[in-house]
Amino acid sequence: MSRKHGQTSYYVAGEGFIGASAPAVLAADQAEAKIERAFRFSRMFAELPPFAPTDDALIALGKAMEDAPNFKDHPDLPSGFTYFGQFIDHDITFDKTDGLPNGQLSPEEIIQGRSPSLDLDNVYGRGPTLEGKRLYEANGIQLRIGHTSPAGPPDTPEGRVLPNDLPRGDNPDNARAASIGDPRNDENLVVAQTHLSFLKFHNIVVARLAEQGVAGVELFERARRLVTLHYQWIVLRDFLPRVLDPFVLNEVIADGATLFKNIAGQEPTMPLEFSVAAYRLGHSMIRDSYSWNRIFTDAGLDLLFTFSGGSGDMFGSPTLPSNWVADFRRLFDFASAPGVEPTPVLNHTRSIDTALALNLSTLPGFPTENDRAKLAVRNLLRGRLVGLPSGQAVAAALGVTPLTPAQVRQGAHANVLHDNGFDTQTPLWYYILKEAEVLNQSQRLGPVGSRIIAETFVGLIRGSRNSILSEDNRYWRPSLPALRPGHYTMVDLLLLVSDFNPLGTERPLPPPPPPAPIIYVVQRGDTLRSIAARFLGDERRWREIFEANRAQISDPNRIRTGMELVIPVI
């Protein structure tokens, strides 16, 4: 199983392999094979000099980013988009030197099997005729769905087997391993449940097309095309507008990607400025805990890794325990969806800024040996490894006014930034997050980050086999049922799947026990009126005390010292 959290070598178009684990000199045939299988990267700003600060400086900055945790919620960005962003990442990035079998793929399959484009090959794999794993049902059209393991009383949803897990059980070395197009989509429960939604989305589209008389190979191909185009719309029109500067995004959509240097007829490449810097904005958005469903209302991120076949053991269950199925109402905003009961909690992402919510090196699948294992440190060191330019250099190349040293120093990291000169020349990843802080109140990326991400996604969508930005599809609009016809969102997808809260609504709490009665011992000079004023706040309520003590009071004007009276609870 391949669950890489960051590469240490990259094949850069025009440069060859770079990085800490770049291959040594190989025989000609070995070298050619490795190059052919390599996932290809490129540069948007090849003319800019690399920024190469010292290890110590980058480690100090990375540690500072994790030493001042980000517990500030984004005001309106639902947390499901953090993991939808991860799902997208696994669609467009893949190390083809690992995970594809030697001797079983033709060169064309290697190149086209997992290229950086938005075509959901993390879901569809190599397709029903070529895929070696059991992704598909016997008909080769529908995708397989897994089932949960009961984990509660039999009269409750969590006590039943539910169709709410990834398909498992095919790997003799790891029975819990998921049979899916990209094993990384099982590294935590949120992205795993997101992947499951796309499996179900495909099957529902297949069913709708079959009702229209479409059959056979055409049924699969048309379903995949329809699913892919709606997915691209969600990325371009639902996800990106929430995290990017809308002016920059709309400008790139209208004018096309001018920095994305893919060449027609050649395999697309992935810009390093995107993959190693700008798109790592999601690391700032991760929460340390989530209200997950009606049973687990405060689940730490470590648990969401434990309940995943890829990085945990599911506490001994062969499949996902039924009580850990996602309540997507807590991850996406269903407020405008008629008939959907409001959730008691909607998790928002953390704000987009230069602090992380937790140290991911404590989670399964991440190295833990020293400071270099910290997520922020690794991101910064990797940026230097691949020779990224500084944030200020990229801003100048884009014609954007760079942040001033005073702006860069804003916040908790002022000393480490100043002491290492990072306030004048800043690592690109940190600079992009700081732009969001300073220019957009930590709600959206600024002009540099927005431009890099918008250019990349527009370029990747244009390079996809099915593309909403192709000339043939220039008039295409979403056709599946949606809250707003002609538009499509993740909420629309989940409503179509109709499986956004399988465990049902919150159970009513049992009534609280009645409060213990107040017993008062009558003192000299007490009257029912004075006692009522003292305990009930109004002397006129003396009759309530009288009625509660009829067994021992015959005349309300005559009570005895030492008498024990029951005071009605307010």
Which of 497, 531, 556 lies at the terminal end of a domain, its last residue? 497
Tell whether 116 is covered by a domain. yes
What values do phi and psi take at 375, rounded to 5? -55, -50
SS (H, E, C) 371-410: HHHCHHHHHHHHHHHCCCCEHHHHHHHCCCCCCCHHHHHC
Q: Alpha-carbon distance 347 to 74, whole Å?
A: 10
For 279-320, the pLDDT digits (tens) are 999 999 999 899 999 999 999 988 888 888 888 888 889 999
Tell whether 372 is covered by a domain. yes
Give the mean model confidence (pLDDT) for residues 404-416.
Answer: 96
Same domain, 277 and 422: yes
Give the mean model confidence (pLDDT) for residues 395-421.
Answer: 97
CATH number for the domain spanning 525: value is 3.10.350.10
Same domain, 313 and 387: yes
Same domain, 490 and 522: no
| In contact, 185 and 168? CB cutoff 8 Å | no
Collapsing DSSP to helix, strand or coil, 485 comes out as: coil
Q: Alpha-carbon distance 269 to 450, whole Å?
A: 19
Tell whether 534 is covered by a domain. yes
Same domain, 453 and 409: yes
Same domain, 151 and 293: yes
Tell whether 308 is covered by a domain. yes
For 23-53, the pLDDT digits (tens) are 655 555 555 556 655 678 889 999 999 999 9
- Residue 361's pLDDT is 58
Distance of CA 512 to CAs 209, 445, 508, 509, Å?
52, 48, 11, 8
- Residue 97's pLDDT is 38
Q: Alpha-carbon distance 537 to 207, whole Å?
A: 67
Same domain, 466 and 436: yes
In which band, very low, low, confident or very high, does the pLDDT at 1 lie, cut at 50, 70 and 90? very low
Tell whether 425 is covered by a domain. yes
Q: Would you state the torsion angle of the CA atoms of residues 473, 479, 485, 491, taken in this order, to the nearest 10 degrees?
A: -110
For 129-138, the pLDDT digits (tens) are 988 899 999 9
Same domain, 260 and 165: yes
Which of 439, 465, 497 lies at the terminal end of a domain, its last residue? 497
Single-letter code of the amino acid located at 469 = L
Same domain, 415 and 528: no
Give the mean model confidence (pLDDT) for residues 379-397.
Answer: 96
Tell whether 544 is covered by a domain. yes
For 199-243, the pLDDT digits (tens) are 999 999 999 999 999 999 999 999 999 999 999 999 999 999 999
Same domain, 461 and 558: no
In which band, very low, low, confident or very high, does the pLDDT at 451 lie, cut at 50, 70 and 90? very high
What values do phi and psi take at 290, rounded to 5? -140, 145
Same domain, 219 and 100: yes
Same domain, 345 and 492: yes
Single-letter code of the amino acid located at 172 = P
| DSSP H/E element including 482 | none
Which residue would you say has higher pLDDT here, 100 or 262? 262
Among 380, 359, 284, 281, residue whose Cα is nearest residue 61: 380
For the chain, what is the domain count? 2
Mean of the per-residue pLDDT values of the chain: 88
For 107-125, the pLDDT digits (tens) are 444 444 456 789 999 999 9
Tell whether 507 is covered by a domain. no
Helix boundaries (H) for 441-541:
447-462, 490-497, 528-536
Bridge partners of residue 78, in order along the sequence: 348
**Whole-number percent of the chain with pLDDT over 90:** 68
Tell whether 502 is covered by a domain. no
Which of 435, 466, 497 lies at the terminal end of a domain, its last residue? 497
Q: Which domain holds residue 535?
A: 518-567
**Whole-number percent of the chain with pLDDT over 70:** 87
Same domain, 540 and 429: no
CATH number for the domain spanning 243: value is 1.10.640
Predicted TM-score (pTM) of this structure: 0.84
- Residue 10's pLDDT is 78
Among 123, 94, 124, residue whose Cα is nearest residue 111: 94
> CB-side exposure of 326: number of CA atoms within 13 Å?
30
Collapsing DSSP to helix, strand or coil, 321 comes out as: strand
